[in-house]
Structure 1
Amino acid sequence: MTLVPSLPTVATNPPSQAEAQVLVAQLQAQIQSLELKNQKLILELAHLKRIKFGVKSEALTVEQKQLFDDDAEQDLAAIAAELDEVPTCDDAPVSRLKARPRAGRQPLPEHLERVEVRHEPEQCTCGQCQAQLVKIGEDVSEHLEIEPARFFVVRHIRPQYACRLCETITAAPVPPAVIDGGMATPGLLAWVAISKYLDHLPLYRVEQIAARQQVILARSTLSEWIGRIGVALQPLADRLSEKLRQQTSLHADETPVQQLDPGKGKTKRAYLWAYRSNDLSGSPPMVVFDYQISRSGQHAANYLQDWRGTLMVDDYSGYKALFANGVREIGCWAHARRKFFELHAAGGHPVAAEALQRIARLYAIEEQAKGQTAEQRAQSRALHSQPELQSLHDWLLKLRPNIANGGGLAKAIDYTLRRWPALLHYAETGDLPIDNNPIENAIRPIAIGKKNWLFAGSERAGKRAAAIQSLLATAKLNGIEPSEWLKDTLEKLPTWPNSRIDELLPLRG
């Protein structure tokens, strides 16, 4: 296989001036082609190295870095503890690690239950004169404790009463439940669902956790519970979708997941489409996941139905039909920035660095506008963002004719210029976001979790997971503890009127 294009054949006789010019032009073209291929390979190699060995995004604070930080903290604490155990002589100096300044222990949350343990002296008389001791105060210290998942049995006793005259029997009725006649309480059902969908534990691990307390929860039983929980929560997920489509602006993105293909004994690719409300709209945050078996843009059209608003997306072509049918597009500056970041990370490209600095000024303006009203933010963007954007646009237009086609810089500039109207749209308003990071943050736990559960067992299982994940993720966005919400909801659902279903949604008031 030829890796390098063959050079033009040079005649034995010295070439004429015209032939020499043609030969030089051919050589220059080949050199330029090789330089572009080399640049492309460098970018691809840097990207793959960052995925395998480093951070996957341009953010500085990532889980991988935190792992190393945690280990360093643990090592320092262990060394300090070992030094504390070293025996010392009164007249011999001991070398110690210099204590690092700390901010002090944070107060424990006020909402936690306080269990008081009183420690009285062994005797109430003075150890020297035997006089009676008088209480003058007390020292109070608080320590955080935890009770791991503890199984216990709730025994419901309903006495039966008979009327001798009427020959009838009276007893308290058995309230309806999500699983009639089942042994699981709403609290246990919530724990299983949270373990599977929020903590991303496969059911066999939940089975093992229960077995440590000698409680037998077969996977078949756990699977049946999850199936029934999904059916019970589906109306809430459907209503959440309806309320999301009432918003005038949304984020959208999609991520691949694996689905079991039993007929072939392997997995196939499916997609989890995600839609999120705009935080700048002032409405309670909502996120909805829609499981589909392909990445066809028709799935987005089917989900959004007749919705017509402003949609924040990346440059995936599957959304293009929506924009041709009345939906207005808004571009993501994080995606545009990423093109320049990858180029800069590969070799410290000076033009890419300049682009990153210009884009950083746009984000600095947004940071300063946090907490402002939509009107105030619109004024700030008109005064500061739009001039910065115009300057960036002019700079890119002036720069582009001097950049060779096909290179990483050309692709980054072309991406930005091609999507310029969509990228500019946010600065023309005061209530639209600058990037699609909120939806990517909502998807990230799913991406982490699928490394544990690996694949969805079926399309129905994928759709059930999407519905439950939507409700739990929305609860988290609204500052609602998902486990408590789910337990309370499973208790209420069997008798809750459909006309009041909105009251059960995990949305802050």
Structure 2
Amino acid sequence: MVEPAGNAEIAALRAALAAAEQRADLAELKAAQARAEAARVVAEKTDGEAEIARLKLEIEKLKRSLYGQRSERKAKLLDQLEFELEDLEAAATEDELAAEMAAARTTPVKAFTRKRAQRRGFPDHLPRERVVVSAPEACQCCGSDHLVKLGEDVTETLEVIPRQWKVVQTVREKFSCRDCEKISQPPAPFHPTPRGFAGPNLLATILFEKFGQHQPLNRQSERFAREGVPVSLSTLADQVGAATVALKPLHDLIADHVMAADRLHGDDTTVPILAKGQTRTGRVWTYVRDDRPFGGIEGPAALFYASPDRRGEHPRAHLADYSGILQVDAFAGYNGLFDPERRSEPIRPAFCWAHGRRPLFELADIERVRKKKGKGGAISPVALEAVRRIDEIFAIERDLYGLPPDQRLAERQRLCAPLVEELHAYMMIEREKLSRHAPVAKAMNYMLARWTGFTAFLEDGRICLSNNAAERALRGIALGRKAWLFAGSDRGARRAAFMYTLIVSAKLNDIDPQAWLADVLARIADMPQSKLGELLPWNWVTQAVTKAA
């Protein structure tokens, strides 16, 4: 019997579709293998770079011990090499884990495993202290040695123990079934980092000391050794890299939360970055979401990025998908964000009154003028009057903190708008009397040329008068530069920005960053993705409290 022509065409189409699907599956498999192979090559490259850096450091240390070089320059060179090694070790661990995850998606490609130095054994001492004063051997009254203990008086003295070390042994017992002889054993618990030896509290200590307290890993390693627990610099750097990978899902949630805000504070600061024996000036950028000034209920958070320079392309890349209000200073690099033709919903600028006030205040500060020009220096009465008027506006704003946006806007229109209008008229009149090169005229032009951005707070109750939220977020970096001097590489600066996001966000929510990191690292490995939001700083409740509840 002859098959109808229509059925034959359908069968041919089905066969062609099956062949196309098979080819697509094969192409997808090849692409996955290529990605896994590329990740393995990258991991091998960074591992080789870390090994070269380690050998360079060992050579310089040997030279110093052999030839007795104790110069300050040689000491700085060793510090630079240690910083470089620290960043390369952490980067190598990140790439190794990335290669493992890529290889896990495809069978033919073998995962890359780094060669690690053999760790020393853990100390087996645990401190226990009970101080007993020696009892008298004879009666103090009659000299008899027939003494019977009646009890004891204990005097408690408060003392501080900086750190206690212990080794936690997780025991999984094996049982054999008498009927089927099958061996049963509970599964191994999740560890904060793959192949890690450090518990969550130790990991949190390492991370917070490095990024929150500005103690580089080489100093931490020296301190651990003095406490009787020798841990090498490369081992600590390895754990930092592994912890970065483990915490990335939480970091991504914080980043999404920040970029979903209607209003952001933005700012940047300098970060010296090591480059071939010298340092160059990079930048760390922050974007802060804080809705508390206008009574918002969403948790505050800060997102940090690092870049090798201050070109405007960096904030444009950071905020490529953002549309809302951006509170910043008048840095020209932000101008591209405010272009109406940039997108259908351009970012709206709101400039910082604290930045506008600062150059005027410097001209009105008696002590500053006296130090610069000697006893004969004089302050500017125009600048002093402008500062006084701006301070009146700030005084009103302090009383409006926490009010809902509509109520805040209404009070601003009633109380602040007349003062702002009078300030504008005053500066316009006084500027006409001055040379355009006069310092006071330049200070006033900073605000007058951007008056629409400065007065945006009179049109939207969500806008703050200043950008202090972003400046406070960057304060820790400015303080830490004197401790860690510079970042070891561009990648090290990006890793620091990653950790600043976590630590500063915890501080904004008034929780202890170290305790939070310890709890997160203890729970994140076996927590479903759908429940990961419970670990965010504004939702966080410690595991101990959860169990008690």
TM-score (normalizing by structure 1)? 0.70
| 1:330 aligns with one of 343, 346, 350 | 350
Cα deviation code 1:287-334 (max 9, x no counterpart) = 110111221111111111221111111110000000003111101000
| 2:320 aligns with one of 305, 314, 330 | 305
Q: Give the match's secondary structure for 1:275.
A: strand
Distance between the aligned counterparts of 1:413 and 1:508, measured in 2? 44
Distance between the aligned counterparts of 1:368 and 1:290, measured in 2? 33
- C-alpha change, 1:143 and 1:308, in structure 2 (3 Å) is farther
Q: Residues 14-25 of structure 1: matches in 2 within 5 Å? A: none
Q: Give 1:499 shift.
A: 2.3
Distance between the aligned counterparts of 2:533 and 2:385, measured in 1? 49
Q: Give 1:508 shift.
A: 4.3
Q: Which residue of 1 aligns with 2:285?
A: 273
Q: Does 1:427 align with 2:458?
A: yes
Cα deviation code 1:236-270 (max 9, x no counterpart) = 212211111111110101111111113xx212221
Q: Which residue of 1 aligns with 2:274?
A: 260
Q: Does 1:411 align with 2:442?
A: yes
Aligned partner letter, 1:299: H
Q: Give 1:463 shift.
A: 1.3
Q: Which residue of 1 aligns with 2:233?
A: 219
Q: Give the match's secondary structure for 1:288.
A: strand
Q: Which residue of 1 aligns with 2:172?
A: 158
Distance between the aligned counterparts of 2:169 and 2:497, measured in 1? 35
Q: Does 1:360 align with 2:391?
A: yes
- C-alpha change, 1:299 and 1:497, in structure 2 (3 Å) is same
Runs of 5+ consecutive residues of structure 1 not aligned to the other structure: 1-140
Q: Which residue of 1 aligns with 2:499?
A: 468
Aligned partner letter, 1:275: Y
Distance between the aligned counterparts of 1:390 and 1:150, measured in 2? 62
The answer on whether the counterparts of 2:293 and 2:401 sit within 8 Å (CA) in structure 1 is no
Distance between the aligned counterparts of 1:142 and 1:311, measured in 2? 56
Q: Give the match's secondary structure for 1:173.
A: coil
Cα deviation code 1:153-182 (max 9, x no counterpart) = 112222221224423222222112132333
The answer on whether the counterparts of 2:194 and 2:242 sit within 8 Å (CA) in structure 1 is no
Q: Which residue of 2 aligns with 1:454?
A: 485
| 1:293 aligns with one of 284, 287, 308 | 308
Cα deviation code 1:191-218 (max 9, x no counterpart) = 1111101111011221122112211011
Q: How many residues align?
A: 369
Aligned partner letter, 1:336: G
TM-score (normalizing by structure 2)? 0.65
Q: Which residue of 1 aligns with 2:426?
A: 395
Q: Which residue of 1 aligns with 2:364?
A: 344
| 1:188 aligns with one of 202, 210, 221 | 202
Distance between the aligned counterparts of 1:411 and 1:284, measured in 2? 39
Q: Give the match's secondary structure for 2:267.
A: strand
Moved over 6 A (4+): 141-144
- C-alpha change, 1:375 and 1:234, in structure 2 (3 Å) is same
Q: Which residue of 2 aligns with 1:478?
A: 509
Q: Which residue of 2 aligns with 1:104?
A: none
Aligned partner letter, 1:420: W
Q: Which residue of 2 aligns with 1:102?
A: none
Distance between the aligned counterparts of 2:531 and 2:313, measured in 1? 32
Q: Give the match's secondary structure for 2:501.
A: helix
The answer on whether the counterparts of 1:478 and 1:508 sit within 8 Å (CA) in structure 2 is no
The answer on whether the counterparts of 1:177 and 1:491 sit within 8 Å (CA) in structure 2 is yes
Q: Give the match's secondary structure for 1:379.
A: helix
Query: If each structure's helix is expressed as a fraction of its own residues, which one has the higher value?
Result: 2
The answer on whether the counterparts of 2:304 and 2:498 sit within 8 Å (CA) in structure 1 is yes
Aligned partner letter, 1:445: G
Q: Which residue of 2 aligns with 1:239?
A: 253
Q: Does 1:175 align with 2:195?
A: no
Moved more, 309-318 or 161-170: 161-170
Q: Does 1:320 align with 2:335?
A: yes
Runs of 5+ consecutive residues of structure 2 not aligned to the other structure: 1-154, 370-377, 541-549
Q: Give the match's secondary structure for 1:157.
A: coil
Q: Give the match's secondary structure for 1:253.
A: strand
Aligned partner letter, 1:293: P
Q: Give 1:227 shift.
A: 0.7
Distance between the aligned counterparts of 2:312 and 2:533, measured in 1? 30
Cα deviation code 1:85-144 (max 9, x no counterpart) = xxxxxxxxxxxxxxxxxxxxxxxxxxxxxxxxxxxxxxxxxxxxxxxxxxxxxxxx9997
Distance between the aligned counterparts of 2:360 and 2:156, measured in 1? 51
